[in-house]
Amino acid sequence: MDIPVVDMILRAGWVARSINLMLLFFSFVSWAIIFNRLAVLSSIGRNNKLFKDKYDTLSTVSEIDKIDTKLINAPLGQLGKNGCVEYKRIFEDARMQSVKDHNFFLQSQFAMVSEHLESAFLGLVKSLDKGVFFLAMMSSIAPFLGLLGTVWGIMNAFFAIGNQGSASLPVVAPGIAEALITTIMGLAVAIPALYFYNYFNHKIERIENDMEEFKDILFVRIKRETFNNFYTEAHTAPRLQPQMQQFQQIPPQQPRFQ
């Protein structure tokens, strides 16, 4: 049984076939990116939420290392792991150095923590929109490729009319068929690419907002717990030694997340 669309593609000229093959390839790549981002972003959103729920139950930042590896691998988990490493590093530095001015020491340490968390945040954000820019390009390029095929097909139709001296259906049909099929192919690639490009941008923006909010919350908690471990409630006498003893047995830290 003949399929009209397939028959039109097979009867099209070499220019229309080339355009259709390009659009078919772009469509395949676009849908591969779409399915990949759907799975990845859904998994990230789910694991971020699970990590945040687990994080809220912790009594101290240093317990982040005890959370399941699957949740630690989520973007929020990576931020949390980075914060945990920085939190422990503060007490390692205090143990190894002779700290006389606690205020200056803590200010410099908190500045480093803030920079490291920001660096980790930016590194994680970059990986979220992988491939999404290609969808934006396809939503712009595909209609113009379809238009090129449309113009070429109409030009062939007029050329056939001039050669045959007739505007009958058998004369103009092949050129019109080329024009229509390339237009359809261009729209078939552009419409889903544009829709999912905007959809993914919305999802990524929400994830970024959650990550930035968590980064600020984590930084404030690190500061609060560090102050609590450095000073008494009256803020008069340092009580750093017990906290340093807690981290004295900790092996050298692995390189921080990049």
pLDDT-derived band at 171 (thresholds 50, 70, 90) equals low
The answer on pLDDT for 258 being more than 90 is no
> Does residue 44 carry a pLDDT above 70?
yes
Residues 6+ apart with CB under 8 A from 227: 106
Asked if residue 8 has pLDDT above 90, the reply is no
> Average pLDDT of 103-126?
86
* Distance from C-alpha of 178 to C-alpha of 188, rounded to nearest angstrom: 15
Can you give the pLDDT at residue 252? 45
- Structure confidence at residue 168 (pLDDT): 55
Which carries the bigger pLDDT value, residue 127 or residue 136?
Answer: 136
Helix ranges restricted to H, the chain: 4-11, 14-55, 69-72, 75-96, 102-126, 132-164, 169-230, 240-248
pLDDT at 6 over 60: no
Estimate the crossing angle of helix 14-55 against helix 132-164, to 10 degrees: 160
What pLDDT is attached to residue 216?
Answer: 92
Longest dimension (CA), the chain: 103
The answer to whether the CB of 85 falls within 8 A of the CB of 247 is no
Residues 203-219, mean pLDDT to the nearest whole number: 92
Confidence (pLDDT) at 101: 61
Report whether pLDDT(217) > 60. yes
10: pLDDT strictly greater than 70 = no
CB under 8 Å, gap of 24 or more: what pairs does 250-254 form? 250/88, 250/92, 253/85, 253/88, 253/89, 253/92, 254/85
Of 86, 115, 68, the closest CA to residue 247 belongs to: 86
Angle between helix axes 169-230 and 14-55 (nearest 10 degrees) is 20
Please state the rounded mean pLDDT for residues 174-186. 76
Average pLDDT over residues 226-230: 80
